[in-house]
Amino acid sequence: MNEVREQVRQRYALAAVQGGDQGCCSGASCDPEQIVVDEKFGASLYSAQDAVSIPAEALAASLGCGNPLAVADLRAGERVLDLGSGGGIDVLLSARRVGPDGFAYGVDMTDEMLELARANATKAGATNVEFLRGTIEDLPLDDAVVDVVISNCVVNLSTDKPAVLAEAFRVLVPGGRIGISDVVAEDHLSERDRAERGSYVGCIAGALSRSEYVQGLAAAGFADAEVTFTHEVAEGMHGAIVRARKPLAAH
Ligand SMILES: C[S@@+](CC[C@H](N)C(=O)[O-])C[C@H]1O[C@@H](n2cnc3c(N)ncnc32)[C@H](O)[C@@H]1O
């Protein structure tokens, strides 16, 4: 495992054990000089309706920077994959939306997060979910097995983003879609500018710019890529919704 990925794993293992305050750019482990206030990450980004539909522990474990469910437009019977599922909030919400004929997978590399997510699924009584150990750069799923890929504040943490987008494309059925929340930089910010605004493990330094995201999705084979900024999390850096589609003719 590369060094940065190991730092990310350790950071989120601690978050799983100690609670959301150690998470993505919130709480004591981010430099307050550099970055954000807590309302820009985590549970407050979910609607009251979503919040009451899952166990309080799952909501409290949220370390995301948006609500990918708000744009994924999930339908009954669909199969969903959450990249970097953490404490499981988006998997549990997806499972409710797709209903008993659908299924929601979560993939995460951090054992402590998988344990937390599985405990939250048990509390929620969810039977149409599975949390798998693995990396989002090398997904433990066969080709063309899900209709929708979601993710919440994880792609920015990857040290190999082309591999993540290629893997998302591979596991989607033709005609499938990706709808993710992530931190995204304005195009004029250099990598150094981004690093000045926050740490890699805190979801800031590793963020792609809007153009880099759109180009990366196109390079992986996606069509109709779009990035919409939703709220600023640091100067020139935004929580964003990223959407694209796997063409019907793709393999
Ligand atoms: C910021 S947290 C977000 C968790 C969850 N999506 C949420 O909204 O609460 C990042 C999560 O992604 C996982 N993660 C980070 N990089 C990963 C990688 N390369 N492969 C698999 N999981 C990864 C971490 O273990 C952690 O659980």
Q: Is the CB of 84 under 6 A from ligand 1?
A: yes
Probe target for ligand 1 pocket from 11, 157, 180, 201, with the most ligand atoms within 8 Å of CB: 157
Q: Is the CB of 120 under 6 A from ligand 1?
A: no
Report pLDDT digits (tens) over 217-230. 999 999 999 999 99
pLDDT at 121 over 70: yes
Q: How far away, in angstroms, is 171 Cα from ligand 1 center?
A: 18
Spatial CB neighbours of 94, under 8 Å, sequence gap ≥ 6 = 69, 72, 74, 80, 82, 104, 148, 150
Q: Which residue's entry shows tokens 């153009």?
A: 211
38 band by pLDDT with thresholds 50, 70 and 90: low
**Which of 207, 229, 190 lies closest to 154, judged by CA?**
207
Q: How far away, in angstroms, is 241 Cα from ligand 1 center?
A: 17
pLDDT at 21 over 90: no
Q: How far away, in angstroms, is 161 Cα from ligand 1 center?
A: 14
Question: Is residue 31 classed exposed, middle or buried when 0-12, 13-18 and 19+ CB atoms within 10 A define those classes?
Answer: exposed
Look at the chain and count its residues.
Answer: 251
pLDDT at 205 over 90: yes
Beta strand spans in 5-163 (E): 79-83, 103-108, 129-133, 146-152
Q: Is the CB of 62 under 6 A from ligand 1?
A: yes
**Which of 180, 135, 174 lies closest to 4, judged by CA?**
135
Spatial CB neighbours of 190, under 8 Å, sequence gap ≥ 6 = none
pTM over 0.85: yes
- Which domains can be identified in the chain, with CATH numbers? 3-245 (3.40.50.150)
> For residue 247, what is the DSSP state?
-
Q: Whose CA is nearest to atom 5 of ligand 1?
A: 86
Q: How far away, in angstroms, is 154 Cα from ligand 1 center?
A: 5
Report pLDDT digits (tens) over 74-88. 999 999 999 999 999
Report pLDDT digits (tens) over 91-114. 999 999 999 999 999 999 999 999
Q: How far away, in angstroms, is 249 Cα from ligand 1 center?
A: 31
Question: Is residue 160 classed exposed, middle or buried when 0-12, 13-18 and 19+ CB atoms within 10 A define those classes?
Answer: middle
Distance of alpha carbon 35 from alpha carbon 1, whole angstroms: 28
Report pLDDT digits (tens) over 132-172. 999 999 999 999 999 999 999 999 999 999 999 999 999 99
